């Protein structure tokens, strides 16, 4: 572990850049370790002792949105001097040979990087694929040009070039574009791409490692065959990478039962303390969605302005539909929702639609036009029920028993026969 501190001295436009973050790489993801607020002249700085020799990131982006972040190499006892914008950086003054080498590579690859990792833009595969093939031919010379005197960095640099190039080239395929290639139109780099070359523990040294892993897996597997999650995990070699991939899915779990099922099956791949800790954090966030715990006590107005609460519905099984007028999948479920309503008349089941529409008049008009069945309530966007059950996508169906306890925070949809079976089971209790 490096013991001597490193110094970062920078300038930026304080009007455009309000804060600058310093991030370490933790298992292919970024973790912020310090922040600086530029002064009126745009000056900022950091003095820190690197935990390891390797890549760190600095800039105006975040761990989740890395646009505006730039990586640098620290080993301790060096100075980094730079001018920073929200979209680029420039080294100024005296800097280490390692960061000078990275800067040269970043300048060489900037256009390619920007096209590969920035959504939209005018670029399509028609111009990008030839650039991939042309740039690929230059990589050997670029990798051989490095001699900083730091054996660790000089050994690592060719990997940086190869991983960066692969990340930019592969990421391009998964960005929104105005035109997309057929399989036959893929250039040689893509048809010959070997994902296993990059699906190694080396990936965890890079700020983009975690997100790149998913894209490489997509290249390795034929998604048209709809591989199961088991098959996806099996396609990854090292257990530690399997653990990272599982955690990506686990952190998207919408209920405690989903978490429990996945955790019980795959926790054997959590080989690092940080992976185990991430799983515990997910569990803590989902404990309120555990079957049998008291359900969240909501209270929202109906179309007449009368507030209806969960307490008002005690003694009935409650099925909540989180939806919005603009949501296509929500509207697709409407006929099934209406049919279930009719089938459970007189069976102590309350069907409660909770709209997350920001536009309340639009919701009111829609409910009247469609003559929607059940109890229709308006919660609006950013509501407490969505917060309680981590509702990030809709539709979402939440099932509550007659005593007001949670059955499922992510129940099957009305179009799924499993929901009818659940309603029949719990309405008889």
Place of tokens 């972040």: 69
Which pLDDT belongs to residue 278? 95
Average pLDDT over residues 296-316: 94
* Vertex 235 angle, CA 233 and 241, to 5°: 60
pLDDT digits (tens, 9 = 90+) for 201-220: 999 999 999 999 999 998 88
φ/ψ of 71, rounded to 5, equals -100, 150
Location of each CATH 2.60.40.1120 domain in the chain: 1-95
Q: Are 160 and 207 in contact (CB under 8 A)?
A: no
Q: What tokens appear for 288 in the block?
A: 């309120």
Check the CA dihedral 170-176-177-182 and report its sign. positive
Question: CA 324, CA 330: separation in Å to the nearest integer?
Answer: 7
CA distances (Å), 356 to each of 300, 326, 359, 362, in order?
11, 10, 9, 11
pLDDT digits (tens, 9 = 90+) for 349-358: 999 999 999 9
Q: Return the DSSP state at 184.
A: G
Question: CA 37, CA 232: separation in Å to the nearest integer?
Answer: 42
Q: Return the DSSP state at 100.
A: H
Question: CA 236, CA 101: separation in Å to the nearest integer?
Answer: 32
pLDDT digits (tens, 9 = 90+) for 118-153: 876 678 899 999 999 999 999 999 999 899 999 999
Q: What tokens appear for 128 in the block?
A: 């990008």
412, HSE (Cβ side, Cα atoms, 13 Å): 12
Average pLDDT over residues 273-283: 94
Place of tokens 């519905």: 313
φ/ψ of 254, rounded to 5, equals -105, -5
Helix (H, G, I), strand (E, B) or coil at 414: coil
Residue 54's DSSP bridge partners are 74
Residues in CB range of 270: below 8 A, 6 or more apart: 243, 246, 247, 276, 279
pLDDT digits (tens, 9 = 90+) for 363-400: 999 999 999 989 999 999 889 999 888 898 999 999 99
- Does the domain at 1-95 match CATH 2.60.40.1120? Answer given as yes
b/e map 287-308, b = 16+ CB within 10 Å: ebbbeeeebbebebeebeeeeb
- pLDDT beyond 60 at 88: yes
Question: CA 359, CA 94: separation in Å to the nearest integer?
Answer: 56
Average pLDDT over residues 25-42: 96
* Vertex 245 angle, CA 287 and 70, to 5°: 105
- CA nearest 380: which of 297, 298, 294? 298
Q: Return the DSSP state at 24.
A: E
Question: CA 52, CA 56: separation in Å to the nearest integer?
Answer: 10
Which pLDDT belongs to residue 9? 98
pLDDT-derived band at 408 (thresholds 50, 70, 90) equals: very high
Location of each CATH 3.40.30.10 domain in the chain: 299-427
Which pLDDT belongs to residue 257? 87
Question: What average pLDDT does the structure give for the chain?
Answer: 93
Which pLDDT belongs to residue 67? 87
- pLDDT beyond 90 at 341: yes
pLDDT-derived band at 294 (thresholds 50, 70, 90) equals: very high
CATH of 299-427, one of 3.20.20.70, 3.40.50.300, 3.40.30.10, 3.40.1160.10: 3.40.30.10
Output the pTM of the full model: 0.79
Residues in CB range of 118: below 8 A, 6 or more apart: 67, 175
75, HSE (Cβ side, Cα atoms, 13 Å): 9
pLDDT digits (tens, 9 = 90+) for 167-199: 999 999 988 888 888 889 999 999 999 999 999
- pLDDT beyond 60 at 1: no
pLDDT-derived band at 51 (thresholds 50, 70, 90) equals: very high
Residues in CB range of 60: below 8 A, 6 or more apart: 12, 17, 18, 19, 20, 21, 68, 69, 84, 86
């Amino acid at each position: 572990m490096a013991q001597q501190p490193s110094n970062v001295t920078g300038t930026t436009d304080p009007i455009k850049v309000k804060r600058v973050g310093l991030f370490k790489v933790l298992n292919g993801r970024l973790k912020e370790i310090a922040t600086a607020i530029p002064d009126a002249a745009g000056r900022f700085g950091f003095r820190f002792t690197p935990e390891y020799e390797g890549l760190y990131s600095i800039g105006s982006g975040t761990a989740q949105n890395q646009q505006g972040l730039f990586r640098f190499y620290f080993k301790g006892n060096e100075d980094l001097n730079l001018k920073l914008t929200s979209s680029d950086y420039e080294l100024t003054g005296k800097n280490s040979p390692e960061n000078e080498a990275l800067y040269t590579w970043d300048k060489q690859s900037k256009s390619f990087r920007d096209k590969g990792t920035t959504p939209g833009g005018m670029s399509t595969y028609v111009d990008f694929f030839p650039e991939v093939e042309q740039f690929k031919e230059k990589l050997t010379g670029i990798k051989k040009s490095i001699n900083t005197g730091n054996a660790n960095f000089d050994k690592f640099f060719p990997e940086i070039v190869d991983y960066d190039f692969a990340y930019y080239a592969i990421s391009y395929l998964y960005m929104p574009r105005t035109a997309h290639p057929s399989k036959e139109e893929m250039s040689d780099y893509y048809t010959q791409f070997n994902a296993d070359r990059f699906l190694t523990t080396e990936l965890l040294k890079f700020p983009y490692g975690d997100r790149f892993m998913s894209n490489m897996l997509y290249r390795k597997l034929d998604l048209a065959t709809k591989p199961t999650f088991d098959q996806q995990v099996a396609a990854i070699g090292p257990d530690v990478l399997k653990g990272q991939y599982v955690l990506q899915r686990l952190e998207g779990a919408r209920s405690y039962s989903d978490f429990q099922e996945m955790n019980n099956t795959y926790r054997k791949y959590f080989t690092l303390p940080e992976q185990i800790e991430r799983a515990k954090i997910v569990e803590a966030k989902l404990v309120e969605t555990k079957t049998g715990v008291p359900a969240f006590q909501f209270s929202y107005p109906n179309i007449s302005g009368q507030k209806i609460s969960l307490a008002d519905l005690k003694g009935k099984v409650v099925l909540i539909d989180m939806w919005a007028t603009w949501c296509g999948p929500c509207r697709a479920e409407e006929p099934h929702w209406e049919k279930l309503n009719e089938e459970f008349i007189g069976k102590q089941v309350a069907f409660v639609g909770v709209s997350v529409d920001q536009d309340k008049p639009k919701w009111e008009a829609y409910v009247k036009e469609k003559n929607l069945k059940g109890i229709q309530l308006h919660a609006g966007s950013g509501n407490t029920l969505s917060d309680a059950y981590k509702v990030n996508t809709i539709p979402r169906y939440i099932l509550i028993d007659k005593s007001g306890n949670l059955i499922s925070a992510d129940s099957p949809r009305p179009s799924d026969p499993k929901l009818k079976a659940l309603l029949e089971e719990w309405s008889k209790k």
